[in-house]
């Protein structure tokens, strides 16, 4: 959520900036609701003031044993007027809030302007795609013929777009989770968390999934609860409502969670394999930082995620998302894309964003500077470190051998019971 005062005072600039993201806010409705709210609020406050004064006088009169009936009668009508105005006010405030909650974040000045994914510039490309003396197979073929992935049986259990890992495949998934968590906790200083996988409506609203994107979420029947689409939601909400002392910043958290996405409207894309599933595992990185450091923190967060790919020896590149391709809450986003030999393309495996104070305002996450009055909103950041299913897919494809086996990269072997190959 943007600060209403800021929007009001910089309306033209805000509109111009959001236009680069293809935003469709109804600014007339916004202005109207805002102005009416201000007018009504001013009157209410004035009336409440006179009521407060009168109440004090009534108390005084009663103490002196003087009759206060006249004053009380007078205040009865004031009270009625306040009540009526308050009803009005709530209506306008709700309008305003609905609009405000649906306005995306303002892109950082360094974000390239563009329409869609094709306009995302490549920031850097690391490593070299492996050369094969044969036609590399898709990870779904490799996985199914090794007996470590079975999408048919997963469909029997649930439906399309759910994974079933078996044997070394399940072990590989678990190994990667531990591998990633160990690096982030032991080397990068993140605190490990294991949050709820189901969250309430408020938490979803705080991080920006709601109110606009309810269709992408799985909702529980008879509960106002949702399956998390990413650990970002529960982990960011750890500090919802908190005022943190400055010394505690920056805070780093990591979490392994499954993620659930209904991916409404994505049918037909990536129908094979692990790339686009309704349920997948992810190790997430979340940071809370002071505003002046948040862009440095974004860079280091990105490096933390990159480290995993480097250790696994996977080729990847980093792209900067352009204004038209960024997510709703982000002020700036880097995507890491891993090389997928079967299709010969780089595929997203991590997304690292700085949300600035957009989520913090919604979730009311503040910090207090020593010796300074008042509080300030923190900046929140997060990134995948990494999407585990897609990492498995990349490993299978990049380390496949002519005989159909798959080499396990050295760094992962301790997590695979010393195994160096899946055959």
* 98 binds RNA, rule: CB under 7 A: no
Is 390 catalytic? The answer is yes
Q: Which of 23, 25, 58, 198 binds RNA (CB under 7 A)?
A: 58
Pick the closer one to RNA by CB: 132 or 225. 225
198-200 and 225-227 strand pairing: antiparallel
Pick the closer one to RNA by CB: 7 or 231. 7
CA 256 – CA 387 distance, rounded (Å) = 10
Please report the DSSP string for 331-381 in residue order: SEEEEEEEEETTTTEEEEEEEEEEEETHHHHHHT-EEE-TT-SS-EEPEEE
Residue 213's contacts (CB-CB under 8 Å, 6 or more residues apart) are 328
Considering only the stretches 52-60, 225-233, 246-254, 286-294, report the one whose residues sit in contact with RNA under the rule CB under 7 A: 52-60
CA 115 – CA 326 distance, rounded (Å) = 10
Q: Which of 49, 153, 248, 272 binds RNA (CB under 7 A)?
A: 49
Yes or no: say if 402 and 258 are a contact pair by the CB < 8 Å rule.
Answer: no
Is 276 catalytic? The answer is yes
Side by side, which strands form the sheet with 366-368?
243-245, 366-368, 376-377
Two tokens at 360?
């913090």
Pick the closer one to RNA by CB: 92 or 261. 92
Each residue 230-259 as x (binds RNA by CB under 7 A) or -, in order, gives -------------x----------------
Catalytic residue among 48, 171, 201, 276: 276
| Cα-based distances in Å from 126 to 310, 317, 318, 337 | 9, 6, 8, 10
Pick the closer one to RNA by CB: 45 or 420. 45
* 90 binds RNA, rule: CB under 7 A: yes
Pick the closer one to RNA by CB: 110 or 222. 222
* 54 binds RNA, rule: CB under 7 A: yes
Each residue 2-31 as x (binds RNA by CB under 7 A) or -, in order, gives ---x--------------------------
Residues 351-410 that bind RNA (CB under 7 A): 366, 368, 373-375
How many CA atoms lie within 13 Å of 354's alpha carbon, on the beta-carbon side?
A: 26
Q: Residue 202: is it exposed, middle or buried by C-beta count within 10 angstroms (0-12/13-18/19+)?
A: middle
Residue 403's contacts (CB-CB under 8 Å, 6 or more residues apart) are 423
**421: helix, strand or coil:** strand
Two tokens at 250?
């920056």
Each residue 317-356 as x (binds RNA by CB under 7 A) or -, in order, gives ----------------------------------------
Pick the closer one to RNA by CB: 36 or 405. 36
Considering only the stretches 76-84, 93-101, 110-118, 139-147, report the one whose residues sit in contact with RNA under the rule CB under 7 A: 76-84
Catalytic residue among 48, 348, 369, 405: 348
* 290 binds RNA, rule: CB under 7 A: no
Q: Which spans of this chain sit near RNA (rule: CB under 7 A)? A: 5, 44-46, 48-49, 51-56, 58-59, 62-63, 72, 75-76, 78-79, 83, 90, 243, 366, 368, 373-375
Which active-site residues does the annotation give?
261, 276, 348, 351, 390
């Amino acid at each position: 959520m943007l600060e209403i005062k800021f929007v009001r005072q910089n309306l033209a600039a805000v509109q111009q900036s959001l236009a680069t993201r293809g935003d469709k806010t109804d600014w007339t409705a916004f202005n109207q609701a805002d102005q009416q709210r201000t007018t009504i609020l001013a009157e209410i406050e004035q009336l409440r003031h006179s009521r407060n004064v009168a109440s004090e006088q009534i108390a005084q009169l009663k103490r002196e044993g003087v009759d206060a009936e006249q004053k009380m009668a007078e205040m009865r009508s004031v009270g009625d007027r306040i009540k009526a105005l308050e009803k009005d006010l709530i209506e306008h405030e709700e309008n305003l809030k609905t609009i405000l909650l649906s306005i995306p974040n303002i892109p950082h000045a360094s974000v390239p302007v563009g329409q869609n994914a094709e306009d995302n510039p490549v920031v850097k490309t690391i490593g070299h795609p492996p050369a094969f003396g044969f036609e590399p197979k898709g990870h779904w073929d490799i996985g199914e013929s090794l007996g470590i992935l079975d999408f048919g049986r997963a469909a029997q259990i649930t439906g399309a777009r759910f994974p079933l890992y078996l044997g070394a495949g399940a072990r590989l998934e678990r190994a990667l989770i531990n591998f990633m968590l160990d690096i982030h906790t032991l080397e990068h200083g993140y605190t490990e968390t294991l949050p709820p996988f189901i969250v309430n409506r408020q938490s979803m609203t705080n991080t920006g999934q709601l109110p606009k994107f309810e269709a992408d979420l799985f909702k529980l029947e008879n509960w106002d609860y949702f399956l998390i689409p990413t650990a970002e939601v529960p982990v960011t909400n750890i500090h919802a409502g908190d005022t943190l002392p400055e010394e505690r910043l920056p805070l780093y958290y990591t979490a392994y969670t499954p993620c659930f996405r209904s991916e409404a409207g994505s049918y037909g894309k990536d129908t094979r394999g692990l790339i686009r599933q309704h349920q997948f595992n992810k190790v997430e990185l979340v940071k809370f930082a002071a505003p002046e450091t948040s862009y440095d923190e974004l860079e280091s967060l990105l490096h933390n995620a990159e480290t995993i790919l480097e250790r696994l020896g996977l080729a990847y590149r980093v792209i900067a998302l352009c204004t038209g391709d960024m997510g709703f809450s982000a002020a700036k986003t880097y995507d890491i894309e891993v090389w997928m030999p079967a299709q010969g393309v780089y595929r997203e495996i991590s997304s690292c964003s700085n949300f600035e104070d957009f989520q913090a305002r919604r979730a009311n996450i503040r910090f207090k500077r020593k010796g300074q009055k008042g509080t300030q909103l923190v900046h929140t950041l997060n990134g995948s470190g990494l999407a585990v299913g897609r990492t498995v897919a990349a490993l299978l494809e990049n380390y496949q051998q002519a005989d159909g086996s798959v080499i396990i990269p050295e760094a992962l072997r301790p997590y695979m019971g010393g195994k160096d190959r899946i055959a």
